[in-house]
């Protein structure tokens, strides 16, 4: 395991190509980040637990555990932003990576400067200035706590991916507002123009499975035909600040 010391927080780089990993680490270290580099997918989860990264850069094709499985496992225990690297550009791979909770998706070969800028942009967007970070939003048994970054339904924890959480936060922050798919994409992904609209439908479907009594007849997340989605504003209980 290689570690370069910086000032902006730790970024975990999981990449079996040593030249690529070293290049990415060098560019990030110049920006003041600490980098922890590992080349074996089987070490990724333990490395994340050990270094508590603010960001994870994750190759898909790795020895012992591939990037998809690592991302799925991370999403069960953490909402750390994840950027996935891949040599494949097929639409199905992009959808799969983003739907499982990755925040962005970069195809090799790539510009290391652009990669660093994407990382910095995602970190800026991970705490949107427009959202009230200490607010708890409640509606008919659903409670979203921005300070704890948690969601409960009737007091029971609801496990969401980072993208699902961001979508739910946007919708619940403005109940009744109809969001287009493009607007919801912009809440989830820094490079939203490179992501297809259908990813949002995948996230919405999974959200409904987790928070609706009957996902086929959703009470909370409603479809706005020809446009996108909105969160119902019926019987809204409002927003309160935690002090």
pTM of the model: 0.54
Neighbours of 79 (CB within 10 A): 18
Report which DSSP code applies to 11: E
Residue 208 has what pLDDT?
A: 96
**Residue 145 Cα distances to 34, 54, 127, 128, 138, angstroms:** 29, 20, 13, 15, 9
Residue 92 has what pLDDT?
A: 65
Q: Which residues are CB-contacts of 88 (< 8 A; sequence separation ≥ 6)?
A: 60, 107
Domains in the chain with CATH codes: 2-125 (3.40.50.2300), 135-241 (1.10.10.10)
The answer to whether 62 and 41 have CB atoms below 8 angstroms apart is yes
Angle between helices 198-211 and 181-188 (to 10 degrees): 80
Tell me the mean pLDDT per 10 residues along the chain, length 243.
Answer: 58 94 94 92 87 91 89 83 82 69 86 92 67 66 87 93 88 86 76 64 94 93 92 59 35
The answer to whether 214 and 115 have CB atoms below 8 angstroms apart is no
């Amino acid at each position: 395991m290689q570690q370069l010391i910086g000032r902006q927080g730790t970024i975990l780089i999981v990449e079996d190509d040593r030249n690529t990993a070293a290049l990415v680490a060098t560019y990030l270290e110049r920006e003041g980040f600490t980098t922890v580099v590992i080349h074996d997918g089987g070490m990724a989860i333990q490395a994340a637990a050990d270094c508590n990264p603010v960001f994870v850069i994750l190759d898909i094709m790795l020895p012992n555990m591939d990037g998809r499985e690592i991302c799925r496992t991370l999403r069960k225990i953490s909402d750390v932003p994840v950027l996935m690297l891949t040599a494949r550009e097929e639409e199905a791979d992009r959808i799969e990576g983003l739907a499982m909770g990755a925040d962005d998706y970069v195809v090799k070969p790539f510009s290391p400067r652009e990669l660093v800028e994407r990382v910095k942009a995602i970190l800026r967007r991970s705490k949107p200035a427009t959202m009230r970070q200490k607010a708890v939003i409640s509606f008919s048994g659903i409670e979203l706590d921005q300070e704890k970054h948690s969601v409960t339904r009737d007091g029971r924890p609801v496990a969401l991916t980072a993208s699902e959480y961001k979508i739910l936060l946007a919708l619940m922050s403005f109940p009744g507002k109809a969001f287009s798919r493009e607007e919801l994409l912009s809440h989830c992904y820094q490079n939203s123009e490179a992501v297809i609209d259908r990813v949002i439908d995948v996230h919405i479907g999974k959200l409904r499975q987790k928070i609706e009594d009957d996902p086929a007849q959703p009470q909370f997340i409603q479809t706005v035909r020809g446009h996108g989605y909105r969160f119902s504003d019926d019987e809204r209980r409002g927003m309160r600040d935690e002090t």
